[in-house]
């Protein structure tokens, strides 16, 4: 949704919230680790996708 406005502005940043559990899951909370791993993976995908399609004025990062 936000990328639409970023493309019109020709620049922008997206910051997602992830967790250290995305890289090394905690015990007994597999769902949480899997969800945060998905956020981290999606962040990496979107960073490459926006840069490839629209240029280097777009950033997508995750806080961990």
pLDDT average, residue stretch 2-16:
91
Q: Which of 25, 32, 39, 51 is catalytic?
A: 32
In the chain, the N- to C-terminal Cα span, in Å, equals 23
Residue 30: pLDDT band (50, 70, 90) is: confident
Q: Known catalytic residue: 32?
A: yes
Task: Give the domain extent around 49.
Answer: 2-63
Question: For residue 2, with 0-12 CB atoms within 10 Å meaning exposed, 13-18 middle and 19 or more buried, which class applies?
Answer: exposed
pLDDT digits (tens, 9 = 90+) for 38-57: 999 999 999 999 999 999 99
pLDDT more than 70, % of the chain: 100
Domain count, the chain: 1
Query: What's the pLDDT score for residue 19?
Result: 92
pLDDT, averaged across the chain: 92
């Amino acid at each position: 949704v936000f990328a639409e406005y970023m493309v019109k502005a020709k620049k922008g940043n997206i910051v997602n919230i992830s967790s250290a559990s995305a890289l090394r899951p905690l015990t007994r909370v597999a769902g949480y680790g899997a969800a945060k791993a998905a956020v981290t993976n999606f962040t990496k995908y979107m960073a490459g996708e926006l840069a490839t399609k629209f240029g280097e004025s777009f950033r997508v990062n995750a806080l961990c």
